[in-house]
Amino acid sequence: MKKNLVAAVVAAVLSLALTSASAAVIRSDFNLDAEGWGTGKINLSGLLPAVDDSFTGPVGHDPVGGTLRTGDLYPWTTFRSSAAYSGDKSAFFGGSISYDLQDSQNDGDPFPNIAILGDAGRMIFIATAPPATASLTHYDFALDTSAGWLTNNPFALVASDNYIRAVLANVHGIWINADWKTGDDQGNDDSRLDNVCLRDARSSCTVGLIPEPAALTLFGLAIGLLGLSRSDSRPPTRRQP
């Protein structure tokens, strides 16, 4: 009876520990295929970017390098995320979105690098200098005001935490710029994307979950109970006459 009781307690403690330590990480490494990603379009609304939520086109895949790749297919071409990155992503507020990006041609000018679209046309974006032309450039943007997200309103205001939360409440998709050169590129543009990772504040894209102290304490308690149960199950030692 005692053994069954201890086993039940251990199971409950482990369940609580795993719940406390649950990680939220979405990754795309493109080692085998495009993983549901595609190409997208950015249109200009005045001087500000507006993603085309109704369009997803085909994207290339490099099986040797394990990257997505595309040329300049549309007036403003992007990579567009798979369905895994859509929906309620509120848990990722305070975490980050990171990826590696390369484009063989650019104007040397800053352009929108990434855009995230939510409900009611709410969109946040970040503009940066172009990525490298011959190697992948790593980007890592915090999903809060510290990253300097801008809104897609006519004045490109800095997005507040509440605005970012509203976008993350129902993400329609993520668009990553694949076209850093204006005008005709003569069909020579080659843009690549790799190692996309969307994570919450408690997780790491390289090692996964960073356990909270409470979760570690619960794991320790469970191990202690298992040890107690094992010692109680040993037969008593008989003394020699």
Whether residue 99 sits in one domain with residue 161: yes
Strand ranges (E), 56-200: 60-62, 67-70, 77-80, 96-103, 111-117, 123-128, 137-142, 150-151, 173-177, 191-199
Whether residue 227 sits in one domain with residue 159: no
pLDDT level of residue 154 (50, 70, 90 thresholds): low
- Which amino acid, one-letter code, is at 29? D
Give the mean pLDDT of 73-94. 97
pLDDT at 87 exceeding the cut of 50: yes
Q: What is the pLDDT of residues 174-212, one digit of tens each?
A: 999 999 998 765 668 899 999 999 999 999 998 544 444
Give the mean pLDDT of 2-24. 46
Listed in sequence order, the DSSP H helices in 128-212 are 161-168
Whether residue 153 sits in one domain with residue 132: yes
State how far Cα 78 lies from the chain centre: 17
Residue-number span of the structural domain to which 89 is assigned = 23-208
CA distances from 218 to 2, 5, 7, 103, 136 (A): 20, 17, 15, 47, 41
Whether residue 186 sits in one domain with residue 69: yes
pLDDT level of residue 167 (50, 70, 90 thresholds): very high
Give the mean pLDDT of 66-75. 94
Query: Which of 17-31, 110-124, 178-192 has the highest mean predicted lDDT (pLDDT)?
Result: 110-124
Whether residue 7 sits in one domain with residue 52: no
